[in-house]
Amino acid sequence: MDTDAPMDTDAPDAEGGPPGLQAERTRLAWTRTALSAAAVGALLAHGAESALGFACAGVVLGCAVGFVRCGTARYRRGAGPLSWWVGVLAVLPGVAALVAVLAR
């Protein structure tokens, strides 16, 4: 492939949609993930009976904020490799929710 050739900005993206929509779909996916994590965090806070339960709810809610920030950053920056902390961010809400439920 010729690297000096200009990119075709009118070409459809990988899924056949108009160009530029892939970034928008990715941002919306991160937002949906954040909304579901916020709902889980709110439910954990509502049912918390100890400081550990509230701490786990806070961790999940903090991860929800991190999801929104990550989605926004990827939308602005474009596709590329994810940082190591995104993997931690993806696993942490599940671990915190499990700890909160088991501690009950």
pLDDT digits (tens, 9 = 90+) for 19-39: 678 888 888 999 999 999 999
Q: Does residue 4 sit within a domain?
A: no
Give the global pTM. Answer: 0.76
Q: Does residue 31 sit within a domain?
A: yes
User: How many CA atoms, within 13 angstroms, populate the side-chain half-sphere of residue 64?
Assistant: 18
C-alpha Rg value of the chain to the nearest Å: 18
pLDDT band at 5 (very low <50, low <70, confident <90, very high): very low
Question: How many domains does one find in the chain?
Answer: 1
Would you say residue 77 has pLDDT above 80? yes
**Res 13: pLDDT:** 55
Query: Which region among 32-36, 50-54, 100-104 has the lowest average model confidence (pLDDT)?
Result: 100-104
Q: Is 54 exposed, middle or buried (0-12, 13-18, 19+ CB in 10 A)?
A: middle
Alpha helices in the chain (DSSP H): 21-47, 51-77, 84-103
d(CA 11, CA 87): 32
| Domain housing 84 | 21-103
**Res 7: pLDDT:** 45
Would you say residue 16 has pLDDT above 70? no
Q: Does residue 3 sit within a domain?
A: no
Q: Does residue 16 sit within a domain?
A: no
